Structure 1
Amino acid sequence: MSADAAPDASTEVSTIRVASLIARLATEGQNVSDPKALIREVAEALRELGVPVERCMVGLQVLHPQVRVVSWSWRRGVDEVIEREFDYSLEEQPIYLKSPIVELRQGTPLIRRRLVGPDAKLDYPVLHDLVAEGFTDYVALSFRVEEGPGNAVTWATQAPGGFTPSQVSALQTLLPVLSLLLEVHAQRRISRALLGTYLGQDAGRRVLSGQVRRGDGERIRAVIWCSDMRDFTLLSDTLPGPALLTMLNTCFERQVWAIHRNGGEVLKFIGDGLLAIFRIDEREGAEAEASRRAVIAGIEGFASLQEENLRRVGQELLPIRVGLALHIGDVEFGNIGAPDRLDFTVIGPAVNLASRLESLSKTLGEPFLLSAAVADALVGTSLPVRALGPQAIRGLPAPQPVFAVRL
């Protein structure tokens, strides 16, 4: 059937039923658990209305330091809606540059392509793929959310003759409420992602769950990780700003990888320093297990930095050197700060001791130090720990036993 041929009356879509679907989505759509469930529900509802959609793709820009676009793909007869994340390099790749999305971002609200017959126009690679799969018609619609333009939903059908005008109209009419619901889900996702990125995953969850007042918090027991980049003041005075930032980011990235890999939580970056914890629960042996994970994270972090330094030597770049100390103690974990500027962190004497122990690593020339509490928790393990004897630690009245990890 050509684009302007009279459609079969049986394929016409009732505007009343479309309006009813929009009303239902407007009142109930925010209660749908996630975008996957929402897209599946909308696609199946459209089919019930007589719109023969068999494929849907949604692409949504999100505010995230690593992820540029999230997409969801629905196919009729396939239970799972596929979710994919694309980083910022997407906009330089052929999959994007040769897609209809570029035209949509330039202001075209609708792209309609017949895929078979005399009116077929296959001017994008994705359309050739759809033809190979037996699709007959393709509709792409752009929509804007708070994060900006460039968001799209595409529909495709395998129905002989493709979509009728009333079916395309139904897809367009549904777009505002669908885009609004997608934005709600996007904002939830952005909130979780940004809070997790800037506060840490656990602290982010606590804030989202309502733990937002100054003084909210709890007492926890943890292995405390304090690390610091060596010679940062000298590097700050000698390196250009961009080179210094790149070096610092690499230093943090290698450590955070090891911390997360071993179940730790990064709480904050303090200049060139890093504060993290490995929680200790009430299970028997939990203290030893958390200590073991923290030490392994330290060993892996140093190994990763050593690998990076070998690469840097080949490029005639300065090496990255780090000092690290671990201590066990009870800390207050919660909101501190001013009424209009709060931070979610840990405080307490145990944190202070870990920080002072890390400073001692410079004096002793040992990059990885442990307090006696951590060393005691590791008794019976094969980890390479050796005693350095009692050492004077700033703020403490008597020397304390200090241990080093052989790297």
Structure 2
Amino acid sequence: MNLLKPSASDQALFEKNIKSTEQWLTQQMLGEMKLTETFSEFSKQIDQNLFPLLRSHVTMRQLHPFIDHTDHTCYRDGEVNTNSQPRAEAERLIWTRSPLYYMVEKSLPEMRFDLTDSKNVKLFPIFSDFKEMGATDYIAFLTPFGNFDTALKRSDGVISSWVTDKAGGFTEDDKETLRRLVPLFAAAARISKREETLTDILGAYLGPLASEKILDGKNQRGDGDVTDAVIWICDLRSSSTLADSMEMPAYLALLNQFFECLAEAVMEQDGEVLKFMGDGFLAIFPTESTSTIAEAAQRALDAALEGGKALKEHPSQARDLQYGVGIHHGAVMFGNIGATERLDFSVIGPAVNMTSRLQDLTKELGVQILVSTEIAEKVTVEWQKYPQQRIPGLKDAIDVYTPI
């Protein structure tokens, strides 16, 4: 226990340092904040200006299709360690053995453990690690965003823990300082999380390129740009028959396996998957100059070939699926279309229609990939050229090709 009472001058300096940290956190909220850097600096300011801080940790649940939560951990004299944890059962097992899990399960807004007491050290595995590092005290806070019960149900808030190696542990002043500063840091974290969530959600549902344009202000109906791109359209064959013959969960699983192979192949080749359309999808490979058309065309073809290979090797009945891919190059309108209160960010134009027709022709010609002359002329592979094909809406027949 700390028995020495700080002098008036020490207390004044302590209060001054608290206010300085509060002002700094406020400035962080108003600036271009990076949460990892903010948390690291926040921890350093506490350790250097307020009281010894051996370790600090903060975790937040993510509203993300693939990530469960993100942890930030900072040790004295070390860089902050940030980890985004996937939605995995193994990670949950580790989480259930932590003091923070106990805190959430018991709905405790604050929790403290004296780490000089051997009985406390035995409560959670991580406390033994802290003890070996010389820790003397541990305190944690559950800071909800909004109503406590609702936030707890949604895992919406900040859970933070703070470990000191100070002789005697945290004083009452130290605890009050954390109670004062942690909510302010949580407010900064909430702003950062909301901005990150917006970027994550837009990226997951629209693609990185479209989401970037929307965040840059292209968010009104009719907003968009005319750009050149290699257009890539894929469609699953006999999907209606499959849907009728399978239970819905099994059909959805099969459809996701199909998308997993083909769409991920596109993304691995730096293509932009813009839209899933029932049992198919639309993607583009933007071309900023004439010199990049050949490169984009090659990447688009590689995506079709590699995606087909991955599907054929898939350890499920997905390997038996039949599909068609159409690939073309041309000018497209890339922007907002839709009704007054329901918009979509996609590509439209004659080049998109042409690509769709090429995809349709794959079924008639019995091949998986068909490309236009604009693509075939740019990619040096062996092509099989078909007799000229009539395309609805076009006056003249066109040449189409498939790789051999």
TM-score normalized by structure 1? 0.90
Are the counterparts in 1 of residues 54 and 163 from structure 2 also a CA contact under 8 Å?
A: yes
Q: Residue in 2 aligned with 1:29?
A: 29
Deviations 1:22-45 (A, max 9, x none): 344235433152101211221122
Q: Determine if the alignment matches structure 1 residue 198 to structure 2 residue 198.
A: no
In structure 2, how many angstroms separate the alpha carbons of the residues matched to 1:62 and 1:179? 15
Tell me how many residue pairs correspond in the alignment: 393
Q: Which amino acid aligns with 2:316?
A: R
Structure 2: which 5+ residue stretches go unaligned? Answer: none
Q: Residue in 2 aligned with 1:377?
A: 378
Structure 1 runs (4+) greater than 4 angstroms displaced? 10-13, 117-120
Q: Which amino acid aligns with 2:367?
A: E
Comparing 149-158 and 20-29, the one that deviates more: 20-29
| 201 and 287 in structure 1: CA distance in 2 versus 1, 3 angstrom threshold | same
In structure 2, how many angstroms separate the alpha carbons of the residues matched to 1:341 and 1:32? 30
Per the TM alignment, residue 392 of structure 1 is displaced from its structure 2 partner at its CA by: 2.4
| 122 and 15 in structure 1: CA distance in 2 versus 1, 3 angstrom threshold | farther
In structure 1, how many angstroms separate the alpha carbons of the residues matched to 2:90 and 2:220? 40
Q: Residue in 2 aligned with 1:59?
A: 59
In structure 2, how many angstroms separate the alpha carbons of the residues matched to 1:65 and 1:45? 35
In structure 1, how many angstroms separate the alpha carbons of the residues matched to 2:357 and 2:344? 22
Per the TM alignment, residue 386 of structure 1 is displaced from its structure 2 partner at its CA by: 2.2
Comparing 48-57 and 323-332, the one that deviates more: 48-57
Per the TM alignment, residue 402 of structure 1 is displaced from its structure 2 partner at its CA by: 0.8
Are the counterparts in 1 of residues 274 and 284 from structure 2 also a CA contact under 8 Å?
A: yes
Comparing 293-302 and 102-111, the one that deviates more: 102-111
Comparing 297-306 and 317-326, the one that deviates more: 317-326
| 365 and 116 in structure 1: CA distance in 2 versus 1, 3 angstrom threshold | same
Comparing 9-18 and 244-253, the one that deviates more: 9-18
Comparing 267-276 and 89-98, the one that deviates more: 89-98
Q: Determine if the alignment matches structure 1 residue 306 to structure 2 residue 312.
A: yes
Q: Secondary structure at the match of 1:191?
A: helix
Q: Which amino acid aligns with 1:236?
A: A
Structure 1: which 5+ residue stretches go unaligned? Answer: none
Q: Secondary structure at the match of 1:46?
A: helix
TM-score normalized by structure 2? 0.91
In structure 2, how many angstroms separate the alpha carbons of the residues matched to 1:196 and 1:15? 43
| 302 and 118 in structure 1: CA distance in 2 versus 1, 3 angstrom threshold | closer
Q: Residue in 2 aligned with 1:328?
A: 329
Q: Secondary structure at the match of 1:169?
A: helix
- Which one of the candidate residues 385, 401, 404 is aligned to 1:387? 385
In structure 1, how many angstroms separate the alpha carbons of the residues matched to 2:272 and 2:382? 24
Per the TM alignment, residue 88 of structure 1 is displaced from its structure 2 partner at its CA by: 2.1
Q: Residue in 1 aligned with 2:298?
A: 292
Q: Which amino acid aligns with 1:319?
A: D
* Same amino acid, percent of matched pairs: 32
Q: Secondary structure at the match of 1:370?
A: strand
In structure 1, how many angstroms separate the alpha carbons of the residues matched to 2:239 and 2:67? 30
Q: Residue in 2 aligned with 1:174?
A: 181
In structure 1, how many angstroms separate the alpha carbons of the residues matched to 2:63 and 2:392? 44
Deviations 1:111-150 (A, max 9, x none): 2122225675331111112222232222111111269334
Per the TM alignment, residue 384 of structure 1 is displaced from its structure 2 partner at its CA by: 4.3
Alignment of 1:3-402 (within 5 A): 6-7=3-4, 9=6, 14-15=14-15, 17-78=17-78, 80-89=79-88, 93-106=92-105, 107-117=107-117, 120-145=120-145, 148-149=151-152, 150=155, 151-282=158-289, 284-308=290-314, 311-313=315-317, 319-378=320-379, 381=380, 383-402=381-400
Deviations 1:344-390 (A, max 9, x none): 00000010010011000001110111111100111xx2x34322232
Are the counterparts in 1 of residues 121 and 131 from structure 2 also a CA contact under 8 Å?
A: no
